């Protein structure tokens, strides 16, 4: 299975003609692309998003209880732009499925102050800045 943050399960659906467009991938190698290779490249790039939160993972002060990976909004914006640039029926199908039907959300990071040390009475003695993932609705395709 190609390196990525998702693995194919029997119930997963991959867009016909692609190896990377779905909740997982079926590529044996990074270079494996389906017949609809242009939107497949967009999906592969999106699957490799460095800033993501896997299902049941706690990251960026957020617990992802969804059955799918959440991506940073910059990755979803790049994904949308890639599909729009490809401008084929297959790319439109993938874009509408992902952004309109599934209505996925993405996340942005917002700084927050967190108490990291308290005195005996519970008063905060030291704060630390951390980034917290905040969910945002994706634009429709």
Residues serving a catalytic function are 46, 76
Rounded to a whole number of angstroms, the CA Rg of the chain reads 18
Candidates 37, 35, 28; CA nearest to 4 is: 28
Distance CA 124, CA 64 (A): 28
| 3 state SS of 23 | coil
Q: What stretch of H or E contains 94? A: helix 89-96
| 3 state SS of 58 | strand
DSSP 101: I
Is residue 132 within 8 Å of residue 110, measured between CB atoms?
yes
What are 23's two structure tokens? 């909740």
């Amino acid at each position: 299975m190609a390196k990525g943050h998702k693995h194919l399960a029997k119930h997963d659906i991959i867009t016909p003609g692609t190896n990377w467009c779905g909740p997982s991938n079926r590529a044996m190698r990074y270079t494996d692309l389906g017949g609809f290779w242009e939107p497949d490249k967009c999906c592969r790039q999106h699957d490799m998003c460095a800033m993501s939160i896997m299902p049941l993972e706690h990251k960026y002060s957020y617990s992802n209880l969804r059955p799918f990976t959440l991506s940073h909004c910059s990755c979803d914006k790049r994904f949308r732009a890639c599909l729009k640039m490809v401008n084929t029926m297959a790319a439109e199908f993938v874009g509408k499925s992902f952004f309109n039907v599934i209505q996925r959300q993405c996340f942005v990071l917002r700084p927050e102050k967190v108490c990291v040390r308290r005195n005996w009475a519970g008063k905060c003695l030291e704060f630390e800045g951390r980034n917290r993932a905040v969910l945002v609705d994706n634009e429709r395709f």
